[in-house]
Amino acid sequence: MPITKVSVAALKSLDPLSSLSDARLTELADLCRVESVRRGSDPFRLRSTAGQAVYVVRGELALAYEQGRSEVIVGGSPAARRSLGKHRTFASARAVTDVELIRIDDDLLDIMLTWDQVALQEQAAAKQPAERPASGADWGAMSGMFGINNLRFGAFSQLPPAHIDELLRRFERVEAKAGEVIIREGAEGDYYYLVESGRCQVERLVGGVSMLLAELRSGDTFGEEALVAEAKRNATVTMTTDGSLLRLAKQDFNALLREPLLHCINMEQAQQKVLDGAQWIDVRYPSEYQYDRLPGARNIPLSEIRNAFGALAMDEEYIVYCQSGRRSSAAAFLLAQRGYRVFVLEGGLWGGDQAR
């Protein structure tokens, strides 16, 4: 079956997609395709509607129901605005003419609808600050961290639904000027940050010399390592342009993000996962790793974990460990934000010594 890219205009004509923001529809258009079906064929003989919202956007499709009832869905008609799988349980289908369909993953659509509806609530609340606190951020138009791929596979994909509204409520928006230091190396961790607009750079003192570690832009996050590991800031972050940041206080970060994302397992559970194909990742320094690493472990120090994004396979499971569990918790959070299936060895090597 020939497949072509779907247009935003086509998505806007469908329910409940018509309620999505233009930014979301643009993202969705890049993630689904128009499927062409030849006259006389059954588009669902080899690929059913299970787990999908399926729409007829052009042509005529005949549906046969139990008890002999039938219906013809015509692309562009009011009846075609609704998905086939959700509102019609049919026994068979046949293309009366050449037909074009759009298939959308159910989970993908549900995530988009959930976050956009919450975003609309937050924007309305921002206009009425006396009723409830709000960040004032335009969540519906956010890219980067709140883009659909991160909502599906990243940090927020693992959030309990009840946390979404609270999370957006508790983010605070702050304006920052070029040259302003947002966090300073050695300071206590107090906030988790998301770059809404502008750019900043991450630097660390090495041997008395300031080294540039990374440059951050819209959608990037920082500040989580000190919060997760309950340690002092290990780098300085400075704005290189004017911009806006969204920040989340430590107690809110712990309750709404840290706990849902960190999955701790004991040594026995970890060893079983390794037998099933999971990979050990040792996030200590090489000088520590060389003496008492676990069999088969790969060494990626916490300071280098961001460089592993994209290099590690997304379809595998990882178990991270360090000496005590502090550094591995920070590494696991960073990986989980990017959608990796990652677990933390509870208590680290100190806690797992008796199980080995």
- Catalogue the active-site residues: 322
Three-class secondary structure assignment of the chain? CCEEECCHHHHHCCCCHHHCCHHHHHHHHCCCEEEEECCCCCCCCCCCCCCEEEEEEECEEEEECHHHCEEEEECCCHHHHCCHHHHCCCCEEEECCCEEEEEEEHHHHHHHHHHHHHHHHHHHHHCCCCCCCCCCCCHHHCCHHHCHHHHHHCHHHHCCHHHHHHHHHHCEEEEECCCCEEECCCCECCEEEEEEECCEEEEEEECCEEEEEEEECCCCEECHHHHHHCCECCCEEEECCCEEEEEEEHHHHHHHHHHHHCCEECHHHHHHHHHCCCEEEECCCHHHHHHHCCCCCEECCHHHHHHHCCCCCCCCEEEEECCCCHHHHHHHHHHHHCCCEEEEECCHHHHHHHHC
- Tell the residue number behind the tokens 């819209």, with chain if given: 218
**Rounded-to-integer distance, Cα 50 and Cα 28, Å:** 19
How is residue 125 written in tokens? 């609340």
CA 271 to chain centre: 28
**Antiparallel, parallel or unpaired: β 52-58 and 33-37:** unpaired
